[in-house]
């Protein structure tokens, strides 16, 4: 017997979702079909109750022809951010999402599938940073930073990528701290990250090697970043490397024209960096929104590292266009 079978048919204007329920009675099959017409496109921004994420939601609400989800791990702060935007005449949707919590990720993915049938824009914005001089031991900083900025990022992608529709756009926020040539001094390490045949499994192993090298104190001589925000830098290098791997997968995906890029939003005045950045959050949202709204079947950028000026930068060899 059938129960809860689910499929969708998508056009540029609507999505038809068919949910089948069936039962057998005296050798006859009874099937009930529930047809849901889910109109419009859908965008999701993780970690978006403040900072660059909030500015990105604000910009998308004005420029994107579809529903925009503001997400936050704290419901109260998320709803407060939604009300703030509504006072400006915007109408974002809200859903709780804690990317460090697998159940929260799964619940959100189920909500998107049930209510919308698919996803058109995913902006991976949520991240953590231990500021230079933080009292926590480096080993703890590394474990906690990688948990959110790399492993949780992967979990979000694994849950939401199956929902991406043809012509979807994925944007992962990296950083100047995630630029390979600028941040990783070790030549052998750079070769491993830059390898066009790098796999997710090999990237996982590199992260495990980093944790090990920090624990035994050999990370500097092994060629890892030595900046005061070492954990953050490695996590963003990993996020960018992951984007390049995912780009190669999307090139082979049967769904047409799914594009992913990684973005340096600039040095922005946010809580994350102690409000030291010279750029406003609206300026920090420019490149992520640009990458999210790339036209259908664009030739470039695809799988590229985008500077906050919208310029494509060579992630492997550089140079970086500016100091920040």
**232 given a catalytic annotation:** yes
Task: Pull the structure tokens for residue 56.
Answer: 């990105």
Q: Do the strands 14-25 and 28-39 form a parallel or antiparallel pair, or are they unpaired?
A: antiparallel
Question: Which of the following is catalytic: 69, 150, 229, 232?
Answer: 232
CB atoms near residue 138 (< 10 Å): 15
Provide the edge-to-edge strand list for the sheet that holds 28-39.
3-10, 14-25, 28-39
Q: Which positions are catalytic?
A: 232
């Amino acid at each position: 017997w059938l129960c809860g079978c689910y499929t969708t048919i998508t056009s540029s204007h609507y999505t038809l979702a068919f949910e089948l329920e069936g039962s057998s009675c005296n050798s006859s099959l009874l099937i009930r079909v529930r047809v849901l017409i889910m109109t419009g496109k859908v965008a999701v921004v993780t970690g978006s109750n403040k900072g660059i994420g909030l500015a990105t939601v604000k910009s998308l609400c004005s420029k994107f022809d579809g529903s925009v989800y503001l997400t936050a791990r704290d419901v109260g702060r998320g709803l407060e951010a939604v009300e703030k935007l509504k006072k400006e005449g915007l109408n974002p949707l809200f859903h709780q999402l804690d990317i460090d919590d697998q159940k929260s990720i799964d619940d959100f993915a189920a909500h998107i599938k049930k209510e919308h049938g698919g996803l058109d824009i995913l902006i991976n914005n949520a991240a953590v940073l231990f500021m230079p001089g933080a009292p926590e031991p480096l080993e703890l900083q590394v474990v906690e930073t990688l948990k959110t900025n790399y492993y949780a990022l992967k979990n979000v992608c694994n849950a939401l990528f199956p929902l991406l529709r043809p012509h979807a756009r994925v944007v992962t926020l990296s950083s100047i701290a995630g630029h390979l040539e600028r941040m990783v001094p070790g030549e052998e390490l750079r070769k491993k990250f830059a390898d066009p045949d790098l796999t997710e499994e090999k990237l996982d192993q590199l992260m495990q090697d980093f944790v090990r090298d920090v624990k035994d104190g050999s990370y500097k001589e092994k060629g890892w970043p030595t900046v005061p925000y070492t954990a953050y830098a490695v996590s963003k290098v990993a996020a960018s490397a992951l984007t390049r791997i995912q780009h190669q997968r999307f090139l082979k995906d049967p769904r047409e024209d799914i594009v992913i890029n990684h973005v340096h939003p600039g040095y922005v005045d946010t809580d994350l960096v102690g409000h030291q950045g010279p750029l406003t959050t609206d300026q920090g949202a420019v490149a992520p929104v640009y990458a999210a709204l790339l036209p259908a079947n664009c030739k470039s950028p695809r799988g590229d590292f985008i500077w906050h000026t919208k310029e494509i930068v060579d992630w492997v060899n550089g140079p970086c266009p500016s100091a920040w």
